[in-house]
């Protein structure tokens, strides 16, 4: 299946902000009238390649679909959680009459051990040829030597860059059933529903780095660089996402200190003023944002920020729903396959014990169906099954808060059972 995507704004689901539908899918009732084409032209002028507003077509949810899904289990708990997400996707395929082909490839530490490279070319090629990618996690103490030739994390950064996945969507969704699993008080977190858009292929993560000097003067550096184009495209996407939900956008930076942040702020302000005057827009400094997330999380709608701030703030925000083990993410580009993963890492402290929470990865597989395959009903079926598992009182250790807990595979089975009844 070819992998051209239509990037579109979904207007109909709390969690579904950007919907990507493969161009090769059967799309019924496509309206290719004059005004539609003019609109697409306008979006392209604004920098949205292949952008189509979703309400111009009705997704053919009852049309059988063939999809090639690449699995990148990686390290630590990666293989354990990917196995459960694969079972869930297989169940969905069976119930809805789709054909999903799964191909596993290497990334991260295991790949370094096998071939000396955290992202071999064959993995990149397989990802490019796929319809969507589901990743577990990379890294672990075995590969942590700071003077090692390469690191597992290099593989993850490289696949994001190679595929142009500049937008990382991290929805912070609370399940009512888990309100008491959060370390924060119920009255503080109730009503929280934030969509983070983390810029993923620029900033300090990809700036020039190195060492210089010698002796006491020897030093290391890494630059933070953002171009106009990089800021514009993520701000536009975030603003579109805001229009599809609460119409409020917060941009987070460190403009009181960092030049690239002042630059980000200027570009963002211009885009918002010229193109999205209807969206309620504000800016917050990252240190203050760290506090607001704990103090008044329900005040935020869509939050857009750079690569490093987004990484840190979303791990912090994971404590709102109660556990890193509950948070999925989608990394999207302007075309090509999307990459879906939990926001957590390889959790080496619990790897191999079958106690990891697979729900973040299972929820990431729902995002995959929605955003890369356009299968809204199927995605919702997974999310409802997860909801039912939680309302039936089933918990892995991280969300059990000392109560009775089930293992990784049992949690996967519980979701599968609720998908099939």
* Positions marked catalytic: 205, 254, 287, 311, 315
The two tokens of residue 28 are 């019924």
Q: Is 156 in the site for ligand NAD (CB under 6 A)?
A: yes
Task: Tell me the window of 9-17, 152-160, 222-230, 270-278 that interacts with ligand IPM (CB under 6 A).
Answer: 152-160
Q: Report the partner that residue 131 touches, choosing among ligand IPM, ligand NAD, Mn ion, none (CB closer than 5 to 8 A by kind).
A: none
For the bound state, the minimum distance from the C-beta of residue 311 to ligand IPM, rounded and expressed in Å, comes to: 4
For the bound state, the minimum distance from the C-beta of residue 96 to ligand NAD, rounded and expressed in Å, comes to: 26
Q: Which residues make Cβ contacts (< 8 Å) with residue 110, sequence separation at least 6? A: 74, 75
72-83 burial, b if ≥16 CB within 10 A, otherwise e?
A: bbbbbbbbbbbb
For the bound state, the minimum distance from the C-beta of residue 64 to Mn ion, rounded and expressed in Å, comes to: 37
For residues 286 and 258, give the distance between their C-alpha atoms in angstroms, rounded to a whole number: 11
3-state secondary structure 11-31: CCCCCCCEEEEECCCCEECCC
For the bound state, the minimum distance from the C-beta of residue 407 to ligand NAD, rounded and expressed in Å, comes to: 11
Pick from 156, 267, 271, 351 the residue near ligand IPM by CB under 6 A: 156
List of long-range contacts for 256-261, beta carbons under 8 Å, 24+ apart: 256/285, 258/224, 260/203, 260/224, 260/225, 260/226, 260/306, 261/306
Pick from 117, 162, 311, 417 the residue near Mn ion by CB under 5 A: 311
Q: Is 153 in the site for ligand IPM (CB under 6 A)?
A: yes
For residues 243 and 85, give the distance between their C-alpha atoms in angstroms, rounded to a whole number: 31
β-pairing verdict for 328-332 and 280-285: unpaired
Q: Report the partner that residue 157 touches, choosing among ligand NAD, ligand IPM, Mn ion, none (CB closer than 5 to 8 A by kind).
A: ligand IPM
β-pairing verdict for 328-332 and 302-305: unpaired
Pick from 76, 78, 79, 139 the residue near ligand IPM by CB under 6 A: 139
Q: Is 198 in the site for ligand NAD (CB under 6 A)?
A: no
Element (H, E) at 85: helix 78-96
Closer of 65 and 366 to ligand NAD (Cβ): 366
Half-sphere exposure of 411 (CA within 13 A, CB side): 34
Q: Is 190 in the site for Mn ion (CB under 5 A)?
A: no
DSSP one-letter code for 6: E
**Nearest Cα residue to 363 out of 330, 394, 410:** 330
For residues 366 and 381, give the distance between their C-alpha atoms in angstroms, rounded to a whole number: 8
Q: Is 356 in the site for ligand NAD (CB under 6 A)?
A: yes
For residues 184 and 186, give the distance between their C-alpha atoms in angstroms, rounded to a whole number: 6
Q: Report the partner that residue 92 touches, choosing among ligand IPM, Mn ion, ligand NAD, none (CB closer than 5 to 8 A by kind).
A: none
Task: Tell me the window of 165-173, 246-254, 264-272, 341-349 that interacts with ligand NAD (CB under 6 A).
Answer: 341-349
Closer of 156 and 179 to ligand IPM (Cβ): 156
Q: Is 162 in the site for ligand IPM (CB under 6 A)?
A: no
For the bound state, the minimum distance from the C-beta of residue 108 to ligand IPM, rounded and expressed in Å, comes to: 9
For the bound state, the minimum distance from the C-beta of residue 320 to ligand IPM, rounded and expressed in Å, comes to: 16
Interface map 298-337 toward ligand IPM (x if CB under 6 A): -------------x--------------------------
Q: Report the partner that residue 238 touches, choosing among ligand NAD, Mn ion, ligand IPM, none (CB closer than 5 to 8 A by kind).
A: none
Give whole-number Cα distances, 107 to 53, 144, 228, 342, in Å. 34, 16, 32, 15
Pick from 123, 346, 365, 372 the residue near ligand NAD by CB under 6 A: 346
- Report yes or no: 411 and 58 within 8 Å, Cβ to Cβ: no
What is the residue whose two structure tokens read 């992998």?
3
For 169, phi then psi, to 5°, come to -90, 120
For the bound state, the minimum distance from the C-beta of residue 3 to ligand IPM, rounded and expressed in Å, comes to: 22
Closer of 261 and 346 to ligand NAD (Cβ): 346
Binding site for ligand NAD (CB under 6 A): 77, 137-140, 153, 156, 324-325, 341, 344-350, 356-357, 360, 398
Binding site for ligand IPM (CB under 6 A): 139, 153, 156-157, 311, 343, 345
């Amino acid at each position: 299946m070819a992998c051209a995507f239509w990037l579109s704004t979904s207007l109909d689901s709390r969690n579904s902000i950007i919907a990507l539908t493969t161009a090769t899918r059967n799309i019924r009732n496509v309206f290719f009238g004059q005004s539609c084409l003019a609109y697409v032209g306008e979006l392209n002028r604004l920098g949205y390649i292949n952008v189509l507003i979703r309400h111009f077509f009705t997704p053919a949810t009852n049309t059988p679909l063939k999809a090639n899904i690449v699995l990148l289990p990686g390290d630590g708990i990666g293989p354990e959680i990917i196995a459960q997400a694969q079972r869930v996707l297989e169940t969905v395929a069976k119930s809805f009459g789709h054909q999903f082909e799964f191909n596993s490839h290497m990334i991260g530490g295991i790949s370094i051990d096998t071939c000396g490279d955290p992202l071999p070319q064959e993995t990149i090629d397989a990802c490019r040829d796929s319809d969507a990618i589901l990743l577990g996690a990379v890294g672990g103490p075995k590969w942590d030597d700071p003077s090692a030739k390469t690191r597992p994390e290099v593989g993850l950064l490289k696949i994001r860059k190679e595929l142009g996945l500049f937008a990382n969507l991290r929805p912070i969704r609370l399940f009512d059933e888990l309100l008491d699993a959060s370390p924060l008080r119920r009255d503080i977190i109730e009503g929280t529903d934030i969509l983070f858009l983390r810029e993923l292929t620029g900033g300090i993560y990809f700036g020039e780095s190195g060492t210089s000097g010698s002796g006491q003067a020897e030093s290391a550096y890494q630059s933070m660089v953002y171009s106009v184009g990089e800021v514009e495209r993520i701000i536009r996407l975030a603003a579109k996402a805001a229009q599809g939900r609460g119409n409020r956008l917060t941009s987070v930076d460190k403009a009181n200190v960092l030049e690239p942040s002042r630059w980000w702020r200027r570009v963002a302000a211009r885009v918002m003023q010229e193109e999205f005057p209807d969206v309620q827009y504000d800016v917050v400094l990252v240190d203050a944002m760290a506090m607001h997330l704990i103090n008044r999380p329900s005040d935020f709608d869509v939050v857009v920020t750079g690569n490093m701030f987004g990484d840190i703030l979303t791990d912090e925000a994971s404590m709102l729903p109660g556990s890193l083990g509950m948070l999925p993410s989608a990394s999207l580009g302007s075309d090509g396959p999307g990459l879906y993963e939990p926001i957590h890492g390889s959790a080496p402290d619990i790897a191999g014990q079958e106690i990891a929470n697979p729900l973040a990865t299972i929820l990431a597989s729902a995002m995959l169906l929605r955003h890369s395959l356009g299968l809204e009903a199927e995605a919702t079926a997974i999310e409802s099954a997860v909801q039912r598992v939680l309302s039936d009182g089933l918990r892995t250790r991280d969300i059990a808060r000392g109560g009775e807990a089930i293992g990784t595979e049992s949690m996967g089975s519980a979701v599968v059972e609720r998908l099939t009844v």
